[in-house]
Chain A
Amino acid sequence: MPYTAEAFQNEFLALGATEVNAIVTVTSSGAEGGRRTSGATEIIIVDASGSMQAEGRINAARQAAKAAVECIDDGVNFAIIAGVSTAQQLFPAPGQLAVSSPQSRSDAIRSIDRLQASGGTAMGAWLLLAAQLFGQRPGDIAHAILLTDGDNGERAGYLEQVLDSIAGRFTCDCRGVGVNWKVSELRKIAQAMLGTVDIVAQPSGLTAAFEQMMVKAMGKTAADVQLKVWTPVNATVRFVKQVEPEVMDLTGKRIEDGPRAGRYPLGSWGAESRDYHICVDVPAGAAGDEMLAARVSVVEGDTVHAQSLVRAVWTEDTALSTKINRQVAHYTGQAELAEAIQAGIEARKAGDDRTATIKFGRAAQLAHASGNKATEELLATVVDIEDAATGTVRLRRKVEAADEMALDTRSTKTVRVGRAQ
């Protein structure tokens, strides 16, 4: 597959400096002819708890699930899970996967009409059933959509336990409808399963959201792409973060791979481009020394698709070593932006208005300076931005819950350098 990996960095370090930063842009033009290199399996998990009766949510969820099924390519395996206090397979027969065809899709759509809202919310059990179904097709591009409208009703710690056991088995995009669900809960799932999280405030928006997720999922052509990072002896990887299209810390997902190298899962790939921020601590060198601080490879199994070198060159020339790489600075700012927003929301919830104002002010400043218009607009629904350049904001007395949740879920969305949104 035609992957490229390009590193952006200022390789020059002042004498004594040990921190090496680089942004690695990984781009793939997708598989040849847009064909998948492996099979694909899709599972749609729809919350069918009693609360879904409200605001016509269950009806909207039915329509959305039907629209998603329509988007599934012929030949792709799929299943639909109805989420109640237990996980119930709605389609096809329990324990089985259907192969997408006009016939199977219309059968699935008919079965969706049987979806009734009654019972509780048990996300751990739903995900576990999905993992079991995906387990029938190892090597497939495995993707799930999870829709919910409320808090998880399982005993504390159970969801985390499930996530630990199934992480990396499939990717899962999570959507919360209404405002009675917890952003932190769905974010936990999305982070563990390398997926996205977002709010669909109005049930009427569900169909578009499902279609969008399914079209994106159908565009994936490779199942399990990984970033392999080699570092020299006595060097440590401080962090590996995806920073575009959204911030996702991958540091903790490292799997050791031979001496001085580790793999970080990137999930499935299609024709797309993502940016990664890699920070490595190396032993300091002498003036003129050149060190390979990291060799970053895009790998799939044993195949190396692309490679990029992160270098460190020590110099006494401060004109060189003090130059700040634009990409590194930009994404450092975007990561701080996400943190500032989440800290601001937390402080506001805790009643600490002073901290909230400071955090939101910093966020407004960062969003403005980096041209992240989408985040700036979301911020403006929670605070009055008096002067974005200086970060002067005032907390709004009345904030719509949906606005705050949208800001929270989308706080990790980033923009590329110089790309206005």
Chain B
Amino acid sequence: MTMTDCASCADERAAGAAFCEACGRPLASSPGAPPAEIPPPGEPCPNCGTPGGVGADGYCENCGMLAGRPRDHIEADCGAIAAAVTDRGRRHHRNEDHMWLAVRDGEVDVVVCDGVSASFDPDVASETAATTAGALLASSPDVSAAILGAKEAVAALAATGDPRRAVSNPACTIVAAAVRGSEINIGWVGDSRAYWLPPDGPAEQLTEDDSWATHAIAMGADPIAAMRDPKAHAITAWLGADAAPVLPRTGAFTVVGAGHLVLCSDGLWNYLTDPADFAATVREHLRAGGTLIDAARGLAGFANDAGGADNITVAIVPVSSTPVSAPSPATETDTTAATDTAKE
């Protein structure tokens, strides 16, 4: 996503703002413009190149290929404050991950959800969970309450829409973090993870997967053998109508010094199970790209190059005990990161 100065009032964009600090208009895309991901009807087909090929329903009138799915690749760029990317990967037919990233003065809310493929409409579950939890975090940093709110919203999906949802109710994982200055609250259900990345040394996993492998290892199984087991990724807790009444697990941390909070779905961490590898790879992308969004893009690209077996979502939030710069406390604009940009 390329963020420009505000087209409406020519005000310079404040670092990290997704909305114009002067007039409040979204900066991600010019008002009224169609989303960049789906070529509008009448555009050339990105698949076969037929001029004017894209039909009203998004399929090419010549080759029939879907011209684009907005959720295949979404980016959220909040400049130096935070960045997140979600990507379909190479093997899955749609992106069932979803994310939420909102920044206010010195505050960041970030949520990553991963739809359970075996359920019906898991993409709707992850979107519902991420947006519900994200909206709740805007008013309170209580991640537990936000996750429980998301859980209710996802459970309610089973009774709406397609009747197949009742048979195999939509379900997803969730990991949410509320960053308030140097205070971080995290909470999770399932196997989407949060890591703390210090300036050096291995990454510290802040979450503990609700998965068969984690349970087996906790019971004394050999970690390597357990992770290789076909059941390794079977999750033992999730959000959905059929979920057991489990309370989300939470943690609270105060950052001393500086580092990066990284939230991701298993589409990324699967390729980086070793905390030292994880740290090295994330640092490499932070260094290489320069900007946070480049690093997030780079990590999604890394997972795709490694096979892209699952949907990939990664969010990066730098956190330090001494805030770099505190913008004027008068503005309370809730800057839900807008989504954007080209498919790879």
A: residues with CB less than 8 A from B are 12, 231-235, 260, 282, 285, 287-293, 295, 309, 313-317, 319-320
Encode contact with A along B56-83: 1 for CB under 8 Å, 0 otherwise.
0101101111100100000000000000
**Additional A-B contacts beyond A233-B63, A287-B93, A290-B93 (6; CB < 8 A):** A290-B66, A291-B65, A293-B64, A309-B59, A315-B91, A317-B92
- By beta carbon, the residue of chain A nearest B68 is A290
Give the Cβ gap from B239 to chain A, nearest Cβ, in Å: 22
Q: Write the nearest CB–CB distance from A333 to chain B, whole angstroms.
A: 22
Query: CB distance A292 to B93 under 8 Å?
Result: no
Chain A neighbourhood of B57, CB < 8 A: 292, 295, 309
Which of B60, B63, B117 interacts with A317 by CB under 8 Å? Answer: B117
* Docked-complex contact A288 and B66, CB < 8 angstroms: no
A-B contact pairs, 12 of them (CB 8 A): A235-B64, A289-B66, A289-B93, A290-B69, A290-B93, A291-B59, A291-B63, A291-B65, A292-B59, A293-B64, A317-B92, A319-B118
Distance between Cα atoms of A35 and B36 in the complex (Å): 47
Does B66 lie within 8 Å of A291, measured CB to CB? yes
- For A260, list chain B residues within 8 Å (CB): 62
Q: Which chain B residues in 23-79 approach chain A with CB under 8 Å? A: 48, 57, 59-60, 62-66, 69
Q: For the complex, what is the distance from the CA of A290 to the CA of B90, rounded to whole Å?
A: 13
**What 1/0 flags go to B72-111 for Cβ under 8 Å of A?**
0000000000000000101111100000000000000000
- Check if B66 sits within 8 Å of A292, measured CB to CB: yes
* B62→A233 contact, CB < 8 A: yes
**Given contacts A288-B88, A290-B69, A292-B59, is CB(A313)–CB(B93) below 8 Å?**
yes
Range of interface residues on B (Cβ < 8 Å): 10 to 19
B60 contact from A232, A285, A309, A314, Cβ within 8 A: A232
Minimum C-beta distance from B43 to chain A (A): 16
A291 to chain B, nearest CB (A): 5
Q: List 6 A-B pairs, minimum CB-CB distance, nearest first.
A: A232-B64, A292-B59, A290-B66, A292-B64, A291-B64, A315-B93
Whether A231 lies near B64 (C-beta < 8 A) is: yes
Give the dominant DSSP class at B's interface.
Answer: loop
CB-CB under 8 A for A314 and B93, given A292-B57, A292-B59: yes
User: Within the complex, which residue of B64, B92, B118 is in contact with A288, where a contact is CB–CB below 8 Å?
Assistant: B92
A321 closest partner in B (C-beta): B93
Complex Cα gap A288–B48 (Å): 16
Q: Interface digits, B275-289 against A, CB 8 Å rule (1 contact, 0 not)? A: 000000000000000
Distance (Å) between the CB of B45 and the closest chain A CB? 10
B65 to A, closest residue via Cβ: A291
Q: Which residues of A contact B90 (CB under 8 A)?
A: 287-288
Find chain B residues with CB under 8 A from A291 CB.
59, 63-66
Q: Are B65 and A287 in contact (CB under 8 A)?
A: no
Instruction: Give the Cβ gap from B162 to chain A, nearest Cβ, in Å.
Output: 12
Q: How far apart sit A34 and B94, CA to CA, in the bound complex (Å)?
A: 44
Query: Which residue of chain B has the shortest Cβ distance to A12 in the bound complex?
Result: B93
8 Å CB interface, B154-207 against A:
none
- Closest CB in chain B relative to A322 CB, distance in Å: 14
Tell me, in angstroms, the Cα distance from A297 to B65 when the chains sit together: 19
CB neighbours (8 Å) of B65 from chain A are 232, 285, 289-292
Min CB–CB distance B152 → chain A (angstroms): 29
Distance in Å from the Cβ of A289 to the closest Cβ of chain B? 7
For B62, B65, B90, B93, the residue with the greatest tally of chain A CB atoms inside 10 Å of its CB is B93
Chain B residue contacts of A288, Cβ below 8 A: 88, 90-94
Q: With A and B bound together, what is the CA distance between A232 and B48 in angstroms?
A: 11
**Docked pose: A295 CA to B62 CA in angstroms:** 12
Residues of A contacting B60 in the complex (Cβ-Cβ under 8 angstroms): 232, 292
| Bound-complex Cα distance A285 to B48 (A) | 13
Tell which of A235, A309, A313, A316 touches B91, judged by Cβ atoms closer than 8 Å: A316
Interchain nearest-CB distance for A29 vs B (Å): 21
CB neighbours of B118 from chain A (8 A): 319
Smallest CB-CB separation from A285: which chain B residue? B65
- B54 CB to closest chain A CB, in angstroms? 11
Between A232, A288, A316, the greatest number of chain B beta carbons within 10 A of the residue's beta carbon is seen for: A288
Point out the residues of chain B lying under 8 angstroms from A287, CB to CB.
90-91, 93
**Distance in Å from the Cβ of A151 to the closest Cβ of chain B?**
48
* Bound Cα distance from A291 to B59, whole angstroms: 7
A159 → chain B closest CB, angstroms: 41
Hey, which chain B residues are within 8 Å of A285, CB to CB?
Answer: 65
Q: Closest CB-CB distance, A320 to chain B, in whole Å?
A: 8
Q: A290-B69, A292-B57, A292-B59 are in contact. Are A315 and B92 (CB under 8 A)?
A: yes
CA distance A313 to B94 in the complex (A): 9
Q: How far is the CA of A291 from the CA of B92 in the complex (A)?
A: 15
Question: B65 → chain A, closest Cβ, in Å?
Answer: 5
- Chain A residues near B59: list those with CB within 8 A: 291-292, 295, 309
> Closest CB of chain A to B62's CB: distance in Å?
5
Bound Cα distance A316, B64 (Å): 20
Residue of chain A at shortest CB distance from B69: A290
Q: Mark B256-298, 1 if CB is under 8 A from A, else 0.
A: 0000000000000000000000000000000000000000000
Residues of B within 8 A of A290 (CB): 65-66, 69, 93
Residues of A within 8 A of B69 (CB): 290
**B59 (CB) vs chain A CBs: closest residue:** A292
* Chain B residues positioned under 8 Å from A235 (CB to CB): 64
Kindly provide the distance from the CB of B96 to the nearest chain A CB, expressed in whole angstroms.
12
- What is the CA–CA distance of A287 and B91 in the complex, to the nearest angstrom? 6
CA distance A316 to B60 in the complex (A): 23
CA distance A314 to B94 in the complex (A): 10
Chain B residues 89 to 145 lying within 8 A of chain A, measured CB to CB, are: 90-94, 117-118
How many angstroms from the CA of A316 to the CA of B117 in the assembled complex?
13
CA distance A290 to B64 in the complex (A): 8
